[in-house]
Amino acid sequence: MRLDFHEDHRLLFGTVLAGFVALSVVVAVAPAAWLQRAVPPTPGSRPLTALEQRGLDVYLSEGCVYCHTQQVRPLAQDTTRYGRASIAGDYARLRPTGPFHPTPRVLGTERTGPDLSNIAARQPSAVWHYLHLYQPRAVVQGSVMPSFPWLFEVRDSASAGDSAITVPAPYAPTGGVVVPRESARALVAYLLALRSASLPSSSSAPASGVVRETAAPVATPTSTDDGSAWREQGAKVYASNCAACHQPLGTGLPGTFPPLAGDAMVTAADPTRHIETVLFGASGSTIGGVRYTSPMPAWGATLSDADIAAVINHERSSWGNRAPLVSAADVATIRAQGGRRAQ
C-alpha cells in the first residue's frame, strides 16, 4: 500500500485526527490531570462556606469574571497593587459540584476592573461592597462597573434583622430603604472570603502577604526638603487605597465612611492616634457624633512605614487640613509598640 496523503483520504484524516488527539493529550489532558492530582490547596486556606459558595455562583452568573481577574502575576505591577503572586494551590479547592454545576472559572483574562484575588484584605468593609454593588459610582467616581440593583430590594422601612445600606442622596431611591437580598449577601460573603492565604516564606509580613516596596525608599519629610517626594507618593497611596471609602477629596460618604477633611483626629497636633488607626485599623468608631459600623483595614499589614507616613502627611496637609507632619520613623516606633486597636 502506498502512503499518499493526497489520494488516501482515510490515511489523511486518520493522521490528522490521531495527531491532534495525541498533541492534545500532551499539551492539555495530561498536564491537567497531573495538576488536579498533584496540587494540594494552599496551607492556611479554607473551603468556602455554603453562603460563600452561593456567592461564587452569583459571581459567575453575573459575569464578574469578564472584567475582573483572580490571578496576581509575579510582576511588580501586580504584586505592588494586589499582594503576593497567585500559586496553583490557591485554586485547588475549586471543583465541580454536580453534573450541571461546572467548575467556576475565576482566573479571568481581562482587567477592566482590578484583580480580586485579595480584595478582602484591601477592602474588608461589607458596607462598602454593598454600596459599590448597588451603585459603583456612589463610591468610586469614574467607575464604569455596572450597577446590580436587582441584588437588592427597596422596602418601606427596615424591619428587625434587615441590614439596610445608606445610599448617598443622588443615588438613593425616592422612598424607602435599600436592603440586600440573599444574592447580594452571598456575593459579598464570597468577596470577603477572597484573601490570599499567607505563605511561609513571607511570614515576616503580618496577615495578608507582601509588604509593598516603595518607589522612593525614604519618602519622608525632613527639615530641608520641599516635600515633593513624599507628596507625590502620599497622593498615590491615598488614591490607590483610601479614596474608595474616604473619597478623593477627603469628604467621606455621609453616614457610611467618615470624612478626613477637618476631622479632629487628622488635624490633631499629636499624630499618634492617626498613625495607630492607619496601622492597626479601626471598627465601630464614633466620629463627630456619628457611629461608623464599617471597619477600617489595618494598613500596617500591606503598606511600608514610608508609605504610611506619606499618606498620613497627605491627609494632614490636604483639603484645608494644616496639621504637623510625621516621619517614617514615627510610624516605625508606633508599629513596634504593637497592635493596640485604635478606638
E-state strands within 149-285: 152-155, 177-180
Q: How far apart are CA 331 and CA 271, in angstroms?
A: 10
Q: In the complex with another protein, which residue's Cβ is closer, 111 or 340?
A: 111
Grid coordinates representing 244 are: 474608595
Q: In the complex with another protein, which residue's Cβ is closer, 103 or 163?
A: 103
Collect all residues with Cβ–Cβ distance below 8 Å to 328 and sequence separation of at least 6: 218, 219, 220, 304, 305, 306, 308, 309
Q: In the complex with another protein, which residue's Cβ is closer, 61 or 159?
A: 61
Collect all residues with Cβ–Cβ distance below 8 Å to 189 and sequence separation of at least 6: 49, 51, 52, 55
Q: Is there a contact between 250 and 318 (Cβ–Cβ < 8 Å)?
A: yes
CB of 64 to another protein, least distance (A): 6
CA-based nearest residue to 122, from 46, 195, 56: 195
Pairing of strands 286-287, 290-291: antiparallel
CB of 102 to another protein, least distance (A): 4
Q: Is there a contact between 306 and 214 (Cβ–Cβ < 8 Å)?
A: yes
Q: In the complex with another protein, which residue's Cβ is closer, 32 or 249?
A: 32
Q: In the complex with another protein, which residue's Cβ is closer, 210 or 265?
A: 210
Q: In the complex with another protein, which residue's Cβ is closer, 240 or 251?
A: 240
Q: Is there a contact between 277 and 341 (Cβ–Cβ < 8 Å)?
A: no
Which helix H or strand E contains 228, and what residues bound it?
helix 228-237
Q: How far apart are CA 217 and CA 6, in angstroms?
A: 68
Exposure string of 153-172, with b = 16+ CB inside 10 Å and e = fewer, is eeeeeeeeeeebbbbeeebb
Q: In the complex with another protein, which residue's Cβ is closer, 53 or 272?
A: 53
Enter the DSSP assignment of 28.
Answer: I
Q: In the complex with another protein, which residue's Cβ is closer, 239 or 329?
A: 239
CB of 21 to another protein, least distance (A): 6
Block residue for cell numbers 467618615: 258
Enter the DSSP assignment of 165.
Answer: B
Residue 341 burial (CB count, 10 A): 13
Grid coordinates representing 102 are: 461546572
Residue 323 burial (CB count, 10 A): 18
Q: In the complex with another protein, which residue's Cβ is closer, 208 or 342?
A: 208
CB of 104 to another protein, least distance (A): 6
Which helix H or strand E contains 286, and what residues bound it?
strand 286-287
CB of 293 to another protein, least distance (A): 25
Backbone φ and ψ of 133, nearest 5°:
-70, -40
